Amino acid sequence: MNQSCGFPKESIASPFGALPARGVYTLIIFLSKDISLNVGRLGFQSFPRGYYSYTGSALGMGATSLSHRILRHLRKEKRSFWHIDFLLAQEDAAVMSVVAAPTTNRKMECHINSYIKEKCQAKIAIPGFGASDCRKNCGSHLLFSQDNIKDFVLAAYKHFFNGLVFVSNL
């Protein structure tokens, strides 16, 4: 694992209820076996067993707030609308942690995603996956790593937000 990605997680542990109203978030997902999945317009795609990060932002209030968005991601029963919904609907896919930070800057999701990808060598799992709102040519907001990607994600949030990071382990 890349040395620069090490991070003492205890220092930023926070209860789920303390999420900011608006901000950027990353889901850390573990897929327990290789699967092939129909992802809407992207068609059938292969997802290898391993760890994934999915980074987005929720910049509204009420139904479009950060906590509503994350709770929606965590519900298995729903109509698949975003690419990530197709993956999270699978029995073998589990959200392990949620990392979030307050911001009103939509580009921040791209900065976080790029940092995880470039500094920590996580890979694009499926080109175009979760990139419809992308402001920076990320290629995808779903990144893959065979090793646990959590330290990569925490390092990215520490880089951009320092102390203002919320972590919830599920």
93 binds Zn ion (CB under 5 A): no
Total residues at the site for Zn ion (CB under 5 A)?
4
134 binds Zn ion (CB under 5 A): yes
5 binds Zn ion (CB under 5 A): no
CA distance 9 to 5: 11
Residue pair 145/123 in contact (Cβ under 8 Å)? The answer is yes
CA distance 37 to 45: 5
**Shortest reach from residue 135's CB to Zn ion, in Å:** 6
Binding segment for Zn ion (CB under 5 A), chosen from 40-48, 73-81, 130-138, 156-164, is 130-138
Sign of CA dihedral 116, 37, 147, 92: positive
**Shortest reach from residue 110's CB to Zn ion, in Å:** 3
Residue pair 62/68 in contact (Cβ under 8 Å)? The answer is yes
* Separation in Å, CA 149 to CA 22, 125, 152: 24, 13, 5
Closer CB to Zn ion, 55 or 168, in the complex: 55
Binding segment for Zn ion (CB under 5 A), chosen from 84-92, 108-116, 145-153, 160-168, is 108-116
Of 75, 78, 107, 136, which lies in the binding site for Zn ion, with binding defined by CB under 5 A?
A: 136
Contact positions toward Zn ion, by CB under 5 A? 110, 134, 136, 138
